[in-house]
């Protein structure tokens, strides 16, 4: 049987039994409440147990789990607070997915499925360009046109420019 994963430490320790963990989860909270660290710890621990973990990380906040950490006073204090006697810095095995297929595992998706917000972020568009892209998606939806790839998006932009 797998050992329990420590989830929180306070007046009483809180553990998650791996066999009782759900397949899906949501970590939510205000800025600075520890969401990223919580996801890192859960991901690392489940991965160590051999449980496949998929985390959508558009901003790249969690990518650091691929490399071993380095010692600093804040980490040392946390290790002592949690009473971790066998603590070592380790990197976790990760596969980065890449919608462009250039620096990671290629993601198979359509432009329509990505939507204007994600596509704007991926392309680094400014507010004006993002607004135009949102209108392109709105018109494509109204006309029931699927934007499957960048060629379709270019054609749609050309159509809107001409009309």
pLDDT at 108: 83
Q: Which two tokens stand for residue 13?
A: 């320790």
Query: 162 by DSSP, 3-state: which?
Result: helix
- Where would I find the beta strands (DSSP E) of 52-138? 97-98, 105-106
Q: What does DSSP say about strands 97-98 and 14-16: parallel, antiparallel, or unpaired? A: unpaired
Q: How far apart are alpha carbons 116 and 134 in whole angstroms?
A: 5
pLDDT tens, residue by residue, 66-85: 999 899 999 899 888 878 88
In sequence order, the β-bridge partners of residue 105 are 97
CA 43 → CA 91, 121, 126, 152, distances in Å? 11, 25, 33, 37
pLDDT at 72: 92
pLDDT tens series, the chain, 163 aa: 578 887 777 778 888 888 888 777 788 899 998 888 888 888 888 888 888 888 888 778 888 899 998 999 998 998 888 788 888 999 988 888 887 778 888 888 899 999 999 899 888 999 999 999 999 999 999 999 999 998 999 999 998 889 8
| Alpha-carbon dihedral angle through residues 17, 64, 110, 26, given to the nearest 10 degrees | 30
Q: Which two tokens stand for residue 137?
A: 């998606």
């Amino acid at each position: 049987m797998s050992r329990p994963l420590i989830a929180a430490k306070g007046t009483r320790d809180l553990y998650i039994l791996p066999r009782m963990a759900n397949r899906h989860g949501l970590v939510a909270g205000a800025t600075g409440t520890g969401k990223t660290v919580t996801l890192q710890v859960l991901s690392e621990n489940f991965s160590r147990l051999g449980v496949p973990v998929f985390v959508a990380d558009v901003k790249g906040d969690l990518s650091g789990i691929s490399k071993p950490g380095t010692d600093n006073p804040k980490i040392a204090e946390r290790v002592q607070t949690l009473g971790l006697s066998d603590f070592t810095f380790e990197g976790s095995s990760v596969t980065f997915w890449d919608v462009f297929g250039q620096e990671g595992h290629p993601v198979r998706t359509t432009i329509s499925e990505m939507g204007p917000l994600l596509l704007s972020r991926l392309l680094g568009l400014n507010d004006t360009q993002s607004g135009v892209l949102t209108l392109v998606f709105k018109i494509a939806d109204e006309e029931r046109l699927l934007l499957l790839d960048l060629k379709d998006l270019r054609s749609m932009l050309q159509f809107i420019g001409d009309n």
